[in-house]
Chain A
């Protein structure tokens, strides 16, 4: 049991939700997502993201297309599928519930 470990466990749980959230705003390629997650301090090592993206893609939540880039080779742009959108709605609901219940626990005396 350590604080760092607990923090990592917390981040882990919401990482999947965050990726779907970001992609629901705008299609993005992996480095975009990494930069956003890093700014939000949700991710420590970058490697974690790739298996997650592949898994979400294989689950049918995401798809990707190749897009030419001005610097370097083409990039994989990820986008939400219909399944992904409804999946995200479910997660949205459960997030609000989660926040509410945690807040109520925090504020109760």
Chain B
């Protein structure tokens, strides 16, 4: 059983089985890749397509018959191999010109199937940068070892995204001329020669346009130089972005796996404390992991997408990345949804606040002076542990997993004839009851010298 597809050739619909379709498409693509001029290529392909439509029509008994492999081969036989068509196209001056233009073609990054071990990425890169393939491979291995295997992801992404050089033209393009400053200069010079040539022709045809052409020439040269400079600058910016993006990703992954310590980067230095250490007692660990991972994805996917786009622009490769895009977008959206959902769940845990008051009346204390002092304070706590601020108050996270809070003391005139003390304990929780429960569970040490 074979699948059949419907194709439109010059306005006529044909049914064609998949193998035959691939063969035909490959044939037309190969022909079109041999042309240096896009418009010319399109025109010739259109003509060839309409002839192929005619030939199919002559051969089919009725419109619903499915075209098979053999019939496509027969058509290719009649139309001629791409080499025959193109070889005959290149004649005399054309030959010289198209030779030059194929030499002038900028390189594109392809995977090289002829020298591949896995996907041919290293071989493709070595062709692109014109470095020995061994050097590229060693570099890859060193990078993968040094980067904890992370560059492996880069390799996989390149494998998926970079197209394989399958046709002869693509293989040529893979090894084409590299874009660099000296080439740019050459290009400018060539443009200049072209303009001079045109100028000469124009002068022969009408002397009156002389001045106009001189101006035109000057403007064009300026234009070419400016465009060249802008391209170089853009390339430098793009490389900068790629480096910045990669370091951002590395730091995000670092944050995800190891947390960021007090000695870590300034960006996360807000609490003077280990961020993960601080957050853990307050958030459900499962939710924390989910939120953490999806938050990282939310940042990472667009960064990766930008890096990928820049790579694509830098190396000028054509990629079939629609599926990749859909998957990443879906993943990103899912991550956003997860962060918002679990973020809201966690926020709800702190939505209500409640306080409770413990009241004491010191009936036994006589006299008119009350001495208050701090007792049993373990000075070591201040040394070894980390502080964080939350709202107005400072807290201390101790290694014994307790959180010590700051106490605010207020003195007021008592309403009765005794010394009285009120301890107000406040907490937040998912609802009033929970908040109250938490508040009541706040512990404190109170000692009286005299009985109380």
Which residues of A does B touch, CB under 8 Å? 12, 30-31, 34, 44-48, 50-55, 58, 72-73, 75-76
Contacts and interface: CB of A to CB of B under 8 A. Distances in A.
B383 interface: no
Interface in B64-106: 78-81, 84-86, 88-89, 91, 94
Given A54-B47, A76-B47, A45 B89 contact: no
Contacts of A12: 88, 91
List 9 tightest A-B contacts by C-beta distance, closest first: A45-B80, A47-B85, A47-B80, A47-B79, A51-B89, A50-B47, A73-B11, A48-B88, A50-B44
A58 B91 CA distance: 15
B89 A52 contact: yes
Interface of B: 10-12, 31, 35, 40, 43-44, 47-48, 50-51, 53-54, 57, 78-81, 84-86, 88-89, 91, 94
Given A46-B79, A46-B80, A50-B47, A72 B85 contact: no
Nearest to B57: A72
B85 A51 contact: yes
B226 to A, nearest CB: 30
Nearest to B94: A55
B77 to A, nearest CB: 8
Contacts of B85: 45, 47-48, 50-51
Given A72-B12, A73-B11, A51 B86 contact: yes
Nearest to B78: A46
B51 to A, nearest CB: 6
Given A31-B54, A45-B81, A47-B80, A53 B47 contact: yes
Contacts of A50: 44, 47-48, 51, 85
A51 B88 CA distance: 9
Given A45-B84, A72-B57, A51 B44 contact: yes
20 contacts: A31-B54, A34-B51, A45-B81, A46-B79, A46-B80, A47-B80, A47-B84, A47-B85, A48-B80, A48-B84, A50-B48, A50-B51, A51-B35, A51-B40, A51-B44, A53-B47, A55-B89, A72-B11, A73-B12, A75-B50
Contacts of B89: 48, 51-52, 55
A44 B84 CA distance: 10
A31 B52 CA distance: 11
Nearest to B49: A50
Contacts of A30: 47, 50-51
A54 B57 contact: no
A96 B424 CA distance: 117
A34 B80 CA distance: 13
Q: Which of A34, A47, A73, A75 gathers the greatest number of chain B CB atoms within 10 Å?
A: A47
Contacts of B11: 72-73
A102 B377 CA distance: 119
Contacts of B40: 51, 54-55, 58
Contact of A44 (B12, B57, B80): B80
A55 B48 CA distance: 14
Contacts of A58: 40
A45 B79 contact: yes
Nearest to B11: A73
Contact of A73 (B47, B50, B91): B50
Contact of B78 (A45, A52, A75): A45
Contacts of B12: 72-73
A55 B94 CA distance: 10
Contacts of A46: 51, 78-80
A31 B57 CA distance: 14
B79 to A, nearest CB: 4
Count chain B CB atoms within 10 A of each CB in A12, A51, A75 and give the residue with the most. A51
Contacts of B88: 12, 48, 51-52
A54 B79 contact: no
Nearest to A11: B88
Contacts of A44: 80
A73 to B, nearest CB: 4
Q: Which of A52, A53, A54 has the most CB of B within 10 A?
A: A54
Given A31-B51, A52-B88, 18 more contacts: A30-B50, A34-B51, A44-B80, A45-B81, A46-B78, A47-B48, A47-B80, A47-B84, A48-B85, A48-B88, A50-B51, A50-B85, A51-B85, A51-B89, A54-B43, A58-B40, A73-B11, A73-B50
